[in-house]
Structure 1
Amino acid sequence: MTVLAPISTYCQDLPSLIDRAATMLAGAKCAAEVLEAREAAGLAYDTAKGAARLGRAKAAHDDLVAAAHRAQADALEIEALAKRRLADEYDSAQGRGEVKRNGGNRSTVEDRNTASASDIGLRRDQIYDARQLRDAEANDPGIVRRTLDDRLARGEEPTRSALRKMVVDAAMRGMRPQRRPNRCNPLYVAPTREQAAWRHVTGIFRAFAEWATDENLALARKGMREASDTPFHALDAKAIAQGSTAFTTIKEWSDA
């Protein structure tokens, strides 16, 4: 009992650390507050990582280690969201001339009086990392959460390095030029934006219809109940409500 007590205490503290980081980020109104939320998420991640390491060293029950891993994943998701917001805030500040662009020009009075990345507490590698996260999510929405969930499902520890690798791959895919139309097929006609949008809708419906077996729906319902106390349950519920409204609208189009 004395061996497990410190680990159990760690795990009990983790939800409050994660809730604090999520609340800080949700209420952040400027770059400085986003930075504070990122630091809070980083603290939650480090605490969860320490709890998991201690649990493995002490041969703690699998449930305790799994709980620490889930907390790591939640903290990384909040940290990733904070970094994406920082990328947007930083680029907007550069666009307004409030922060120097890369390199800068010290020969001008305006540039000497303009803040640099270090002046606002950021390193260039942190800005690069934040932009990669933002671009990866734009290219492949949900990549961060899917990467974390995949590692949890395999019983692996969700780490910053593993997340970074997946993010870099997604960002690089987004930078590659799109394939040109197949010139070997003389009948090929590129779809219009409207046709592409409709194909996107029908593709989502078909994929969901194929997935939505009675077994999978039962599993999803159980998972929903288990997730009801997680920090992001309210956001999930909001997304489902918005998606349901959109699906109803599309069904009305089809029935008209």
Structure 2
Amino acid sequence: MTALAPISAPSQDLPSLIDRAASMLSGAKTAAEVLEAREVAGLAYDVAKRAARLQRAKSAHDDLVAAAHRAQAHALEIEARAKRRLADEYDAAQARGEVATRQRHPGSVGHVGADDMPPATAADLGLRRDQIHEARQFRDAEAADPGIVRRALDDRLERGEEPTRAALRKMVVDAAMRGLRPQRSASRRNPLYMAPTPEQAAWRHVTGTFRAFAEWASDENLALARKGMREARDTPFHDLDATAIAEGSAAFTTIKEWFDAR
């Protein structure tokens, strides 16, 4: 794994760290680059966590603590995406024979020729076995329950609770285990039920998100949200909220264009 590039002083502010992590992950082409993005996202999480605790210690306004929590959640989401990418990269490398598996243990480097080097181990790549296991859990959980990471984070934010690694990991592990449970026997299964395809699951996630927002977006709630937006303009991390809204709006516009083109 390549060493993490030094972070300059201007990039030490939290929004810049989060933007950098997201950009690095989007542009990552190799496992090493995915690892770097994960490290930066982890650093952003740690900075946001300290910021939230500092604001609480100062008895700061709830908006400041909530803003730090949102930044913390954003960093965790990027870190989770990096973990899923890492699991895919690692498993692909094992399939190519570039990384050792349980069935293909590397021999002693001192007893092989230069042209017959054994496959790399997790330690050679700067990874621990538990990190690989966790990365696979995040990937499998997202496959079993698409959107589980974002929903778990949003749930804690809505309840005013801090989004922590430990809380997210528990939700993810539970989802991954649900995906690993054997199917119910034919005698107990609805004979008309058919598991959704990945495409159907993705579309249900989209329609569910739209439906939930449409049900929430009453005139009263929108008026409250607009007032909250005005109050939040001068708070830290407001730019992160604006970016998320812009990205979500662009995605919604794209989906609306699909309908219009039918």
Tell me the TM-score normalised to structure 1 length: 0.76
2:153 maps to which of 148, 154, 161: 148
- Corresponding position: 1:243 with 2:248: no
Asked if the contact 1:52–1:69 (Cα under 8 Å) also holds between the matched residues in 2, the reply is yes
How far has the Cα of 1:176 moved from its partner? Answer: 1.1
Q: Which amino acid aligns with 1:190?
A: L
Which protein, 1 or 2, shows the higher relative CO under an 8 Å CA cutoff with sep ≥ 6? 2
- The amino acid that maps onto 1:212 is A
The count of aligned residue pairs is: 235
Equivalent-residue separation in structure 1 for 2:211 and 2:13 (angstroms): 40
Cα deviation for residue 246 of structure 1 reads: 4.7
Cα separation, 2, equivalents of 1:107 and 1:33:
28
* 1:66 positional shift: 1.1
Alignment of 1:205-244 (within 5 A): 212-213=214-215, 215-216=217-218, 219=221, 229-230=240-241, 231-233=243-245, 235-244=247-256
Question: How far does residue 203 in structure 1 lie from its aligned partner after superposition?
Answer: 10
Deviation at 1:65, TM superposition (A): 1.1
1:121 to 107, 119, 126: 126
Pick the aligned partner of 1:178 from 177, 183, 204: 183
Aligned to 1:134: 139
Preserved CA contact (<8 Å) 1:100 1:111: no
Distance 1:152 1:82, change over 3 A: same
* TM-aligned CA deviation for residue 168 of structure 1: 0.6
Distance across 2 between alignment mates of 1:248 and 1:22: 31
Over 3 Å counting, the alpha-carbon distance change for 1:114 and 1:63 in structure 2 is same
Q: How does 1:149-168 map to 2 (within 5 A)?
A: 149-168=154-173
Following superposition, the deviation at residue 244 of structure 1 comes to: 2.9
Give the direction of change, closer, same or farther, for the CA distance of 1:90–1:246 in structure 2 (3 Å limit): same
Shift of 1:210: 8.0
How far the C-alpha of 1:232 sits from its partner, in A, is: 4.1
Letter in 2 for 1:166: M
Paired residues for 1:1-256 under 5 Å = 13-102=13-102, 104-107=104-107, 113-182=118-187, 189-190=191-192, 212-213=214-215, 215-216=217-218, 219=221, 229-230=240-241, 231-233=243-245, 235-248=247-260, 252=262
Supply the AA of the counterpart residue of 1:122. L
Going from structure 1 to structure 2, the CA distance change for 1:91 and 1:209 (only over 3 Å counts) comes to closer
Closer, same or farther in 2 for the Cα pair 1:132/1:217, shift >3 Å?
A: farther
Computed over aligned residues only, the root mean square deviation of the Cα atoms, in angstroms, reads 3.7
Between the aligned partners of 2:71 and 2:205, the Cα distance in structure 1 is: 34
**8 Å CA contact retained: 1:80, 1:133:** yes
| CA deviation profile, 1:154-174 (whole Å, cap 9, x unmatched) | 000000000000001100111
Structure 2 contact 71–240 (Cα < 8 Å) conserved: no
Structure 1 contact 87–127 (Cα < 8 Å) conserved: yes
In the alignment, structure 1 segments of 5+ residues that lack a partner are 1-11
- CA pair 171-220 structure 1, distance change in 2 beyond 3 A: farther
Of the structure 1 ranges 105-114 and 28-37, higher mean CA displacement relative to structure 2 is found in: 105-114
Distance 1:75 1:194 in 2: 30
User: Contact 1:31–1:89 (CA<8 Å) still a contact in 2?
Assistant: yes
Letter in 2 for 1:150: D
CA gap of 1:97–1:238, structure 2 versus 1, over 3 A, is farther
**Deviation string for 1:160-200 (max 9, x for gaps)?**
0000000011001111122234469xxx74357899x8899
Distance 2:187 2:84 in 1: 36
Q: What one-letter code is carried by the residue in structure 1 that aligns with 2:134?
A: D
> Is the Cα–Cα contact under 8 Å of residues 181 and 190 in structure 1 kept in the other structure?
no
